[in-house]
Amino acid sequence: MRIISGSAKGRKIKTPDGLDTRPTSDRVKESVFNIILRYVFDANVLDLFGGTGNLGLEALSRGANQCIFVEQNKKAYNTLRENISDLGFGEKAVTYNKDSFSILNQLAIEGKSFNLIFLDPPYGKGYVEKSIEEIDKLNLLEEDGLIVSEYDNVDNVSEKIGNFEVYRTEKYGRVRISFWRKEIGNE
């Protein structure tokens, strides 16, 4: 894995040994960032279920203002912190080694909101829908913001959750990437 574009272009991202994380492939990541290009520069980003930080680090490399990373798995979290340091993004990154849903509540209490949110949770647990429900309830996405979710093709994910709807889904083998925004009628 590597950073594809921006200030850290070509730099490698470390991954922990084992199967606890499944980082987004470079091919899929490049396609995703081509789609979301206009949302990235100067954005405040949340990388929920951040793993090694692959998506949030790419956003920082491409000019995002700040990224908050949340990863509960200690091994992945340690690798994430190492990647942030190695790429020199320490001043633009905030990390939490806690449960993602408790952090969502904390961020809402702190008055945070985001232009871009990445959701790449463990497959098969319903976390995409649960995360979007919480993001909606806590009003964590800016009006013109975007949520990018990754899930397996066997996961049953609705096209509308709360005030959010899918406006585009891309398929890459078994992986599905859906792009969410607030419903047009709710803006």
What average pLDDT score do residues 152-161 get? Answer: 88
Among residues 182, 168, 46, 63, which one has the least CA distance to residue 117?
A: 46
The answer on pLDDT for 48 being more than 70 is yes
**97-127 pLDDT, tens per residue?**
999 999 999 999 999 999 999 999 988 888 9
Burial class (CB in 10 A: 0-12, 13-18, 19+), 31: middle
The answer on pLDDT for 180 being more than 80 is yes
Domain boundaries, the chain: 36-186
The answer on pLDDT for 187 being more than 50 is no
pLDDT for the residue numbered 184: 67
Architecture of domain 36-186: 3-Layer(aba) Sandwich (3.40)
Among residues 134, 82, 30, which one has the least CA distance to residue 69?
A: 82
- The string over 53-62, giving b where at least 16 C-beta atoms fall within 10 Å of a residue's C-beta and e elsewhere, is bbbbbbbbbb
Predicted TM-score (pTM) of the model is 0.93
